[in-house]
Amino acid sequence: MSIQQPTLNHADLADRVRSLASAGLEEVIGFRRHMHMYPELSFQEEKTGQFIASLLTRWGIPHTTGWGGHGVVATLSGSGPGPTVALRADIDALPIHEVDGRDYGSRVAGVMHACGHDVHMASLLGALRILMATRDSWQGTVRAIFQPAEESHPGGASLLIQEGVLEDPRPVSIFGQHVLPTLAVGKVGFREGVFMASADELYLTIEGRGGHGAMPHLTRDPIAITATLISALQQLVSRHANPISPSVLTFGRIWSDGGATNIIPDRVHVEGTFRALDETWRAEAHQMLTDMCQGIVGSMGGRCDLEIRKGYPVLVNDPDTTRKARGWACDYLGEDRVEDLEIRMGAEDFAWYSQVMPACFFRLGTGNAEKGITSGLHTPAFDVDEQSLEIGSGLMAWMAIRQLMEENA
């Protein structure tokens, strides 16, 4: 038996949501600025969680705390029974020192919301305000997940899933958004299917036998071995990966123990990342990395210890859910403000949700060249055009409402 829907049609309801998003913009900007000024690193988001919980308490929205450490999960019911849809925002910051001169800049030395998580939180809080004001027009439940530790392996999403955040009852789908400074404010972007890469951390120690730089024949030079190894490992991608399935192998840090210009060290340390868009190839590459490290280093008289810290999986946007979400965004914003995005080799722990249920992860345009807001993610000068929060909050609410309406039809 279908549940009777209110007589308010989609166009009128979209107008109502847009009006509420506009009216609530200044409040949402205030949320964003507060959280931007007081950022906290992964697994340390105690005050951030308390701030979110205090707002939910003030608004009378049931919620629980302590998810994954400091996460908060809110539950908002509509005017009648129905399915559940989940909305997710991440809450942690990065160890980056923000540029000076902003009155809303970080007040925590060396910590900054340089990835837009303050926008994500503020948007979800704004969406809850809109959903509260429109709950007479939808049935079911919205589960708002304020998730900790997106920036640190294994990712807060995996912990929350283990703790049961997607159960009792299980949502029919989950939506998440992420700022995109290369996309102009006023626009959003979507991609069906494979969207973002897996991300694994690599830690290598190459051991040789050190000695005097003038007598290399008496050593097993780990620097020379490392140089050969790194060059050879690049063939993992160039000669072993399927060219139509992108993957990336990058080494970002190399150092040796002790040392001077005339000293060959005993060991060299290397750190890097491996990313892929196919889980089968990812597993194969892990084995090949291990075999190549042992074989090449061993053949040169050294020893190699490789640790692969398996991180986030491939993020796959459910095609049907994403296709519908894109259509809802067109209805809400107009087709000219909705773009199709390319695959990205960046990684996101939202991927954990996408591996276990229908998920849609989309991008919110936050850039504005005329205002000089062009800096990239994870940089000290990163900022957003705060007008994006009007879309960020309104569209999240609209997607939840439309998903519930479709499930109840």
The residues annotated as belonging to the active site are 92, 150
Tell me the two tokens of residue 98: 């923000």
- Separation between Cα atoms, residue 68 and residue 240, nearest integer Å: 38
Instruction: Provide the token pair at 14.
Output: 């979209």
∠ CA 349-193-177, rounded to 5°: 45
Write out the H or E segment, with its range, that includes residue 214: none
First to last CA, the chain: 9
In angstroms, the CA 113 to CA 124 distance is: 16
Task: Please report, for residues 86, 92, 135, the alpha-carbon distance to residue 2 in angstroms, rounded to integers and kept in the order given.
Answer: 21, 40, 18
Residue showing tokens 């609530």: 24
Beta-bridge mates of residue 180: 365
The DSSP result for 59-96, as a single string, is HT--EEEEETTTEEEEEEE-SS---EEEEEEE---BS-
